[in-house]
Amino acid sequence: MEIRQHSEAVGAQVSGVDVRNLGDDQFAELRDAFHRHGVLFFHEQSLTPKDHIAFAQRWGPININRFFRPVDGYPQIAEVLKEPDQTANIGGGWHTDHSYDHEPAMGSVLYALEIPEIGGDTLFAGMGAAYAALDDETKERIAGLHAEHSNRHVFGAEATYRRGMDNRLGNPDLATQDAVHPIVINHPATGEHLLYVNPGFTRRIVELEEEESSKLLWSLYQHAMKPEFHTRWQWQEGSLAMWDNRSTWHFAQNDYQGQRRYLHRITIEGTRLTGAAT
Ligand code: SIN
């Protein structure tokens, strides 16, 4: 098994391994790489839904997403699908999965079944590198602050995003979840300081007035959107990506109109997040 860094800030590509047959030592090495790099990328996997579930369960209990349409017969697996006649894609903006939950999903495991000939890459951003590169004044300013995250404006009945998804998303009546997390968290496994706000689900900084909150959030987003914190994953059929939702953002590119893109996603349970001291 070989693990090679994918960019300076985030991600590692793993080769020479079939994730269906990982020994305990290999799995321990992968877990360590996952915590250090935030995303693991694999090509040339050959997973049935059962294999996908078995791999995900090695990392922890599965968290069943309440909004995505599940794969027939496998409620643990969410469909990430765009048909040729659909224009909006799932995940087409910077976000991290489930930050609206009190105990946000630890990770997501996405497996590619059908990939457009051109386009459909996913960008990832490293929130450890983004935090580390903030100036001292900003670090001091955000230390001890908390942000509210919500799913109402994304998955709720009135949400424009959900309405653009046809029947790919459901249960708008369950979009009632808000959660408050520290803006700077400790990675639960490594203790690394991570910037934990994202444009998809973060609504406001609870300690600040609305205008100040929006300005500060926007400046943090602009900072984390700098390409130096990113990497780009080009999918093939049989590719797998597993990302850490605490330490990364991701953004599915919607540049393949008229083509089909179909993946299976499983999310893994996480823990309550704790704030980092400066
Ligand atoms: C997601 O946001 O979970 C989907 C990512 C992708 O389709 O690349």
Q: Which of 223, 234, 11 is nearest to 126 (CA)?
A: 11
The reply to whether 110 falls in a domain is yes
Q: Does the annotation count 181 as an active-site position?
A: no
The residue contributing the CA closest to ligand 1 atom 4 is 91
The reply to whether 273 falls in a domain is no
What's the confidence (pLDDT) of residue 151?
86
Give me the domain span that covers residue 181: 2-268
Taken as a whole, the chain contains a residue count of 278
Instruction: Please indicate whether residue 98, judged by its CB atom, sits closer than 6 Å to ligand 1.
Output: no
Pocket test for ligand 1, best of 90, 98, 121, 253 (most atoms within 8 A of CB): 90
The reply to whether 278 falls in a domain is no
- What is the CATH classification number for the domain harbouring 6? 3.60.130.10
The reply to whether 222 falls in a domain is yes
What's the confidence (pLDDT) of residue 156?
77
What's the confidence (pLDDT) of residue 278?
53
Instruction: Please indicate whether residue 252, judged by its CB atom, sits closer than 6 Å to ligand 1.
Output: yes
Please tell me which residue in 168, 230, 246, 250 is annotated as part of the active site: 250
Question: Distance, CA 251 to ligand 1 centroid (Å)?
Answer: 7
Instruction: Please indicate whether residue 217, judged by its CB atom, sits closer than 6 Å to ligand 1.
Output: no
The answer, as to whether pTM is greater than 0.85, is: yes
As for how many domains the chain has, the answer is: 1
The residue contributing the CA closest to ligand 1 atom 7 is 252
Instruction: Please indicate whether residue 263, judged by its CB atom, sits closer than 6 Å to ligand 1.
Output: yes
Question: Distance, CA 206 to ligand 1 centroid (Å)?
Answer: 28
The reply to whether 274 falls in a domain is no
The reply to whether 149 falls in a domain is yes
What's the confidence (pLDDT) of residue 164?
75
The residue contributing the CA closest to ligand 1 atom 2 is 91
Q: Does the annotation count 95 as an active-site position?
A: yes
pLDDT tens digits, 9-62: 999 999 999 999 999 999 999 999 999 999 999 999 999 999 999 999 999 999
Q: Is the dihedral of CA 101, 92, 65, 15 positive or negative?
A: negative
Q: Does the annotation count 31 as an active-site position?
A: no
Question: Distance, CA 152 to ligand 1 centroid (Å)?
Answer: 19
The residue contributing the CA closest to ligand 1 atom 8 is 252
The reply to whether 30 falls in a domain is yes
Give the span between the Cα atoms of 146 and 19, in whole angstroms.
38
The reply to whether 204 falls in a domain is yes
β-pair type (202-205, 70-71): unpaired
| φ/ψ (deg, to 5) at 57 | -70, -15
Written as tens digits, the pLDDT of the chain (278 aa) is: 999 999 999 999 999 999 999 999 999 999 999 999 999 999 999 999 999 999 999 999 999 988 889 999 999 999 999 999 999 999 999 999 999 999 999 999 999 999 999 999 999 999 999 999 999 999 999 999 999 999 878 777 777 777 677 788 878 888 888 999 999 999 999 999 999 999 999 999 999 999 999 999 999 999 999 999 999 999 999 999 999 999 999 999 999 999 999 999 999 999 999 998 65
